[in-house]
Structure 1
């Protein structure tokens, strides 16, 4: 995700830095990253993309399958997951795109299929397209709106405090 104007803003803030402004913005950016994680998790739940909870839980700061990076001087924030299938849930994917059928051993437990490589029963999968639910796209759209509004408030607060409005 790229936010237009952030590099220019950071350059101006570095020039204006007196008395720990960069540290204040780093803390604010960290908070914004945590809010983005909340938005992603809310979208995953809203789109009913929760089965085992692995995808949902991969978007947490500090999770081993998570990608959450912050850095000090350049005020960098990077949020994501390292789960391979996260993009399939968002974008959609084909199962057996060449039309062949595939046997999967296991058993049904209620409405959920449990894979068991040693089972003598199972199910036959045929080619089909699984629609993505757009959880990431929705979360980014909401976050960009929230980020812009929050950044405006933060800058106005700083201007008011330092230039006595």
Structure 2
């Protein structure tokens, strides 16, 4: 018995298994990481979580020391930040873990407080809970939807190129 195209299918699957598909998906995953960085930045801006821009600029791709990583289906995307307070902005936090009041030296410039350890003026902070804005959680939800659709399109495109329709 002879099946038309079977030799071609076996050859293409062998190529995929030898790294052709893996290399293609690695490039695609890197592009998806860049898109995820854009989503994170959009969410930070949407949630008004931009003050100095430090958190906004801190997110990078490919650093195993980042506080946030995504792993799904055997693929790992290292996108995140090394800023410890990024999780506080997302999850919320108490201004004092012991519940006591503390003095912060500095000065007010308009409605903005500027920390200055040498200032004779400042403000007294009482412990309170600051709600998080969930920027990371929102970004992950949006990204997962986009990721699944893009993965399906990528796989179908690869299949169409190698096996024709």
The two structures have a TM-score, normalised by structure 2, of: 0.80
Q: Which residue of 1 aligns with 2:145?
A: 145
The gaps in structure 1 that reach 5 residues or longer are: 1-12
The two structures have a TM-score, normalised by structure 1, of: 0.80
Query: C-alpha displacement at 1:62, in angstroms?
Result: 7.8
Q: Which residue of 1 aligns with 2:10?
A: none
Q: Which residue of 2 aligns with 1:86?
A: 86
How large is the Cα RMSD of the aligned pairs? Answer: 2.6
Q: Mark the CA change 1:32 to 1:59 in structure 2 (over 3 Å): closer, same or farther.
A: same
* Correspondence list, 1:118-129, <5 A: 118-129=118-129
* Correspondence list, 1:3-152, <5 A: 16-17=16-17, 20-61=20-61, 76-152=76-152
The gaps in structure 2 that reach 5 residues or longer are: 1-12
Per-residue CA deviation, residues 5-27 of structure 1 (Å, 9 max, x unaligned), is xxxxxxxx888336722221111
SS of corresponding position for 1:42: helix
Structure 1 runs of 4+ with >4 Å offset: 65-69
User: Over alpha carbons, which structure has the higher Rg?
Assistant: 2
Query: C-alpha displacement at 1:68, in angstroms?
Result: 9.5
Q: Mark the CA change 1:88 to 1:24 in structure 2 (over 3 Å): closer, same or farther.
A: same
Query: C-alpha displacement at 1:163, in angstroms?
Result: 1.6
Q: Which residue of 2 aligns with 1:8?
A: none
